[in-house]
Amino acid sequence: MRSVGRMVRGVGLGGLWLSMAGVCSPAVAQALNSVVRPTSNANASVFTPPTALASGYTVLIRSDWSRPDVISICPLQGGETVTGRLTWTGAAYVGVLRRESKYAECGVHGPTTCSVSFRGSGDVQASGEVTRDKGAPGLYLRWSPARDIEVDVEGSCPGQYRKALERMYRTATHAVLIPLPRAGDGEIALTLEDQPWKVRVSP
């Protein structure tokens, strides 16, 4: 396994946020601001992956929401994983990945706080476009809920807040920029610097 330190930049202050007005917006959210844009694929054959890259990759993306640099009113307990296999299709790496979530968080509603416990699972449809940053290959990976989505939100927060969390889990698309090992290389494992995730990627 090859472990790489901090190397992905450009996403502000992580990905967790709490709105202070009215019903809080869900805490588990992300934004990519200054990512390296995807490159065009000039391969003559759709069966041939981009130069020096493998035909498929196994990915494990694990949340890192309680880092000191992530803004939060109170610490989150637990987290989320997204894992599975991506395969080259001629234009992108795609696959149906499995998402599992279990965490507890708080919300702020006026002068008071509340708490929720969240459990969720289901498949997500993932698609990744190859990027190049100074010659180093990467993957701009997006995933959206696909099927068999199960969500259970309990706690003392208002029903509207809990419903917002559930709705986000069932509908929101997430994105992350991760490195790609070249074909024949070993696994890359790292903590993303400006995104609250840890990743493992292997051919």
Per DSSP, the residues of the chain read -EE--S-----SS-SB----SSSPPPSB-----SPPPBPPP--SSTTSPSTT--SEEEEEEEE-TT-TTS--SS--EEEEEEEEEEEE-SSSEEEEEEEEEEEEEEEEETTEEEEEEEEEEEEEEEEEEEEEETTEEEEEEEEEEEEEEEEEEEESS-HHHHHHHHHHHHH--EEEEEE-PPTT---EEEE-SSSSEEEEEE-
Token pair belonging to 195: 């995104």
pLDDT at 25: 37
pLDDT at 75: 72
pLDDT at 21: 31
* Per-residue exposure over 21-38, b if at least 16 CB sit within 10 Å of its own CB, e if not: eeebbbbbebebeebbeb
The pTM (predicted TM-score) of the whole model is 0.75
Question: pLDDT below 50 — which residues of the chain?
Answer: 1-44
pLDDT at 28: 38
pLDDT at 45: 53
pLDDT at 63: 93
pLDDT at 83: 98
pLDDT at 72: 61
pLDDT at 71: 59
Contact 108, 83 (CB under 8 A): no
